[in-house]
Amino acid sequence: MLIFHSMHSRFFLTKMIIMYTLITMATIQKKISRGHTYWQIVESRRIGGKPRPVVLLHLGTAEGLLRRLQEGGKKPIKAQILHFGALAALWNMAEEVDVVRTIDRRVGKRNQGLSCGQYMLLAALNRAVAASSKASLYQWYRKTVLYRLLPASKSSLSSQRFWDHMSYLDEATISKIEEDFTSRLVEHFKIDLKTLLFDATNFDTFIDTQTKSVLPQRGHAKSKRVDLRIIGLALLVSADFHVPLLSHLYPGNQNDAAMFSSITEDLVARYRQFAKECRHITLVFDGGNTSEDNIEEIEKSQYHFVTSLTITHHKDLLDVPLGHFEAFLDPRLEGTTAYRTTKEIWGKTRTVVVTRSQRLLCGQIAGIKAALKKKRSALHQLRQKLLRSQQPQARGKGYTKESLQKRLHSITSGQYISEILHAEITETGGDLGFIFSTDFNAFEKLKRIRLGKRILCTDNDDWSTEQIILASRAQHHVEDAFKQMKNPHWVSFSPAFHWTDQKLRVHAFYCVLALMLSSLLQRKAAQANIRLTIPALYEQLSDIEEIINLYPPEGESKRGRLRAEYILSERTPLQEKLCKIFDIYKVAHT
């Protein structure tokens, strides 16, 4: 055994000089693994009040160390660079969640080649950091540390092999696997269940109109692409870093209330699962999902709820003078006032809170002013076009009174705009014209009565007004989850590269799995006081690469395989912290 007392001990390994600052005594110790003897630099540290050995550097075999010292000046003939940091963190998290075995337990496949769980994990990791088609997945995989962690041939990662294994997962199997994941999240990760958030969005597809599918339909696309078929995705997530606990894929032309009704049974089943850990669970969902039947089903399930109401349906609440609104000391509610009362809604007396947010008010006013400017410009252009169309020898089809009225209605329509901007057709000497005006009195009334307001409804009658408002605002967590899934770089849902309903369901499954793993990483970093968004987290981790220096074969013949030495790229202090938090060094080649 060699003992080093100096503050700096230097080891020359190939071209590199690795310097260690040893605050306490370090030793070179022997380790025997599978009949082979290896050497390590080990330091004794107190961890949790007890002395524990900490490996500072793996030196390899004595022969290998001697050779490297003797070859100190020899240069590698080439190097390989593998994507490492983000995938190593995701790999470790997937092992903690037990992703592969959880999927494989539900899939009846022979023990031959990669398992279905391994295929789904590969697809999820690809979606998390570099979404690509199955045809190009092997090229991506070959340049990552996954090539070492999960060895697979090119033929086994072909599109056909992926499709074959995706076929094992029908809707019922996916539902059971998600239920198993949820149990793991609740029991092992102790996800906070007191407030759960539900919402839905939709994603564009590029599936041909003639392709027969139930899920892709033309509907109200969030992207405004009316020419594309869309699919809807609903998620139930935790307020604790939007970890998904339930997902539901549905036809793109299904409205929110109908979709919510179709998933109520699954929500009730989840409640029974959650109730083992938490009895008082509040479900927060958007007002678009509400109907008397849906609320009745939610109440039967023993969920409590916080939702919003359509403000135009409750004029009596909008007319409450602002002097009756109260302010709050909580800094999270700065600029917000509220009026609390009770009202009979859906056949029962409910607690109702009318909120007025200065931030929302300013945003709505700015949006209306921008829309008015754009629409007035469109009216000026229409007026010029109308005048030209009525000139002698004008080409093209002119406007009729009906077509002009239709065009004016199209321009002056829209939320709030129709109440402020008015246009009227005129006729002079057989020629058509129109006048338009902005009703500033109506605009001021909107500011005073409706803008900046939301109406909340809950059955948590014992909650404070602050608790009700903050629970409603927690809805941003599920909105953040959808925003992340629409990010083209990280945790991307699109493009899907699939067109059958069954394959689209599996695609949604591993995209939600990618979101779950990413959210758990973000949560783990936050627990260590490092608060980063998922994109910022992945940008930091993706800069960490594994470098493989390749040297000529040993011996005088210079034949045989190239000798490889592995090292990680230089890391910033933040990246070092993330490596320790996610135990990334465990995955590094030793």
Give the pLDDT of residue 556.
Answer: 55
Of 101-110, 177-186, 466-475, 539-548, give the lowest mean pLDDT range: 101-110
Give 136-168 as a DSSP string.
Answer: GHHHHHTTBTHHHHS---TGGGSHHHHHHHHTT
CB 30 within 8 A of CB 38: yes
Cα(283)–Cα(263) distance, integer angstroms: 14
Q: Is 343 exposed, middle or buried (0-12, 13-18, 19+ CB in 10 A)?
A: middle
Residue 36 pLDDT exceeds 50: yes
Would you say domain 171-309+339-350+459-527 falls under CATH 3.30.465.10? no
Residue 4, SS3 per DSSP: strand
- Read off the pLDDT of residues 504-516 as tens digits, 9 standing for 90 and up: 999 999 999 999 9
Residue pair 467/460 in contact by the 8 Å Cβ criterion: yes
Strands (E), 493-580: 545-551, 563-568
Distance from C-alpha of 229 to C-alpha of 204, rounded to nearest angstrom: 6
CB 372 within 8 A of CB 347: no
Residue 574: its pLDDT value, please?
Answer: 97
Inform me whether the pLDDT recorded for 24 exceeds 80.
Answer: no
- pLDDT of res. 398: 84
Q: Give residue-wise pLDDT tens across range 444-456.
A: 999 999 999 999 9
Single-letter amino acid code for the residue at 53:
P
pLDDT at 12 over 50: no
- Which range, 3-7, 45-49, 195-199, is most confident? 195-199
Asked if the model's pLDDT at residue 6 lies above 50, the reply is no
pLDDT digits (tens, 9 = 90+) for 381-416: 999 999 988 888 778 788 899 999 999 999 999 999
Query: What was the pLDDT predicted at 54?
Result: 83
User: Under DSSP, is residue 54 helix (H, G, I), strand (E, B) or coil?
Assistant: strand
- CA 107 to CA 165: how far, in whole Å? 10
Closest by alpha carbon to 168, among 503, 496, 493? Answer: 503
User: Do the Cβ atoms of 524 and 541 come closer than 8 Å?
Assistant: no
Joined tokens for residue 304: 């409590």
- The two three-digit tokens of residue 387, written as one number: 């005048």
How much is the pLDDT for 52?
A: 81
Q: pLDDT, tens digit, for every residue of 53-62?
A: 888 887 888 8
pTM, 2 dp: 0.82
Report how far residue 222's alpha carbon sits from residue 200's, in angstroms, rounded to the nearest whole number: 11
CB burial readout 377-405, b (16+ within 10 A) else e? eebeebeeebeebeeeeeeeeebeeeebb
Using alpha carbons, list the distances in angstroms from residue 297 to 175, 243, 258: 21, 24, 13
Provide the pLDDT for residue 550.
87
- Residue 73's pLDDT is 55
Non-local (6+) Cβ contacts of 212 within 8 A are none
The token pair that represents 523 in the structure block: 């949560």
Mean confidence (pLDDT) of the chain: 89
Per-residue pLDDT band for 48 (boundaries 50, 70, 90) equals confident
Full strand arrangement of the beta sheet holding 78-83: 78-83, 545-551, 563-568
The residues near 474 (Cβ < 8 Å, ≥ 6 apart) are 195, 197, 239, 284
pLDDT score at 539: 96
Domain boundaries, the chain: 1-74, 171-309+339-350+459-527, 317-338+351-458
What is residue 408's predicted lDDT score, i.e. its pLDDT?
96
Reply yes or no on whether the pLDDT at 282 is more than 90. Answer: yes
Question: Where residue 552 falls among pLDDT bands split at 50, 70, 90?
Answer: confident
Question: Phi then psi for 522, rounded to 5 degrees?
Answer: -60, -40
Considering the chain, what percentage of its residues have pLDDT values greater than 90? 68
Residue 13 above 70 pLDDT? no
Give the model's pLDDT for residue 109: 74
Q: What is the pLDDT of residues 317-366, one digit of tens each?
A: 999 999 999 999 999 999 999 999 999 999 899 999 999 999 999 999 99
Quote the pLDDT of residue 5.
37
Task: Give the whole-angstrom CA distance, residue 551 versus residue 561.
Answer: 9
